[in-house]
Amino acid sequence: MPHLPVRLTIGQLSERSGVPPTTLRYYEERGLISSERTSGNQRRYHRGTLRRLAFISAAQRVGLTLGRIHDALATLPDNRTPTVRDWARLSEQWQDELDARIDALHRLRDRLSGCVGCGCLSLKVCGLYNQDDALAAKGPGAPLLKPASEGGL
Amino acid sequence: MPHLPVRLTIGQLSERSGVPPTTLRYYEERGLISSERTSGNQRRYHRGTLRRLAFISAAQRVGLTLGRIHDALATLPDNRTPTVRDWARLSEQWQDELDARIDALHRLRDRLSGCVGCGCLSLKVCGLYNQDDALAAKGPGAPLLKPASEGGL
DNA sequence: CTCAGACTTCAAGTTAACTAGAGGTCAAGC
DNA sequence: GCTTGACCTCTAGTTAACTTGAAGTCTGAG
């Protein structure tokens, strides 16, 4: 009863990860995951790829791009199970970024609740809109708002 | 010295908000902001539009789509300065979403630091990868990973 | 009144992250 | 040893959020 096959087919990996086969191929093209090939040219994956995929999904959920995720994953070994050390290194890299994102969210949320409650949701007072944007990098332009003596509210 | 013009041109709004004119037109097309027209068909904006834009930028920074932002902004009045009440309503709507996002980020961060430290970064133990995804809605597929008795690490 | 610069619309191009389809090959149960 | 479903590559299409460009109009300082 060998229910722990050494290598997974793309279908099995897809099934277990919830990531469509097309996307798995796409990720491979982007260098986010890797595979070996059978003599018949079919992909076979290490079971550790599941963990990589889980990580990718988690990171995407919080808004990081595949590019950034790729950079992070590049520090992990392709061919062996990452050690605690490997993950720790990755962790350090992202600590600031994640912290900044959490901060931005807190600001948005708190302004919307507490700050609204206190009536200060005004551009000239709230730090929310004038924070500089350590990450995100949504558009190329700077999201710098200079209110210049606002009127009402 | 009338340095508080009642209406802003698209250039002025762009200058002050940091959002390119093309994007401002795009936002208007998407219904995120609105404008009045001069007799010569040029756009003129309420100064309150600055606040709307600031809000849009802030929300985008934390990963919300223009669609969701639109829905939220739709609850604000177009033609008058929003009251504290208006913003409070919007706030309530987003509270859960923002909380969930903050949660997801905390999980990702904490797993990468604390959890890595304790050596438990394993799919079968960590909640990180199996959380259900209340928001994000990145892809259509479900990011549901079912580890099924993992091997190493 | 003129004219440079800011504005207008409309159509098309761009990037990220996929997704779909065509046309062909591989693998495994009977 | 054959057939069926899973797999392969490659090209092209999709959506979100913009950006670029062409061709023409408006505004306001002089």
pLDDT digits (tens, 9 = 90+) for A53-94: 988 988 887 778 999 999 888 887 765 667 767 777 777 777
pTM for the full model?
Answer: 0.70
Chain B CB contacts of A109 below 8 Å: 94-95, 98-99, 102
pLDDT of residue A118: 42
CA closest to C1' of D25 belongs to: B40
CA dist., res. B82 & res. A119, Å (int):
12
pLDDT of residue A41: 96
Q: Which residues contact B36 (CB under 8 A, 6 or more apart)?
A: B7, B43, B44, B45
E strand segments, chain B: 7-8, 36-37, 43-46
CA angle, residues B150, B152, B153, in degrees to nearest 5:
110
Report chain A's mean pLDDT, rounded to a whole number.
71
Cα–Cα nearest to B121, from A84, A141, A9, A46: A84
Per-residue buried b or exposed e for B92-103, using 16+ beta carbons within 10 Å of the residue's own CB: eebeebbebbbe
Q: Which residue has the higher pLDDT, A27 or B150?
A: A27
pLDDT of residue A37: 95
Bridge partners (DSSP) listed for residue B45: B8
pLDDT of residue A113: 56
Cα–Cα nearest to A54, from A80, A11, A19: A19
CA closest to C1' of C18 belongs to: A23
Among A45, A66, A81, A102, the residue to mutate for chain B (most B Cβ within 10 A)? A102
Pick out chain B residues at pLDDT < 70: 1-5, 78-81, 84, 111-153
Chain B CB contacts of A12 below 8 Å: none
User: What is the token pair recorded at A76?
Assistant: 């992990």
Calculate the CA B17 to chain-centre distance.
16
pLDDT of residue B107: 78
Contact flag A102-B98 (C-beta cutoff 8 Å): no
Indicate if CB(A66) is under 7 A from strand C. Answer: yes
Under 8 Å between Cβ of B134 and B142: no
* B95 sits in which H/E element: helix B84-110
Q: Which residue has the higher pLDDT, A37 or B144?
A: A37
pLDDT of residue A4: 53
pLDDT of residue A106: 82
CA dist., res. A62 & res. B31, Å (int):
26
Nearest-nucleotide field for B10 (CA, C1'): C7
CA dist., res. B35 & res. B70, Å (int):
16
For the stretch A97-146, pLDDT in tens is 788 888 878 877 776 654 444 444 443 334 444 433 322 333 322 233 32
Question: What type of residue is B107?
Answer: R
For the stretch B120-145, pLDDT in tens is 444 333 444 443 332 233 332 223 33
Chain B CB contacts of A47 below 8 Å: 150-151
CA angle, residues A94, B69, B141, in degrees to nearest 5:
60
Nearest-nucleotide field for A12 (CA, C1'): D6
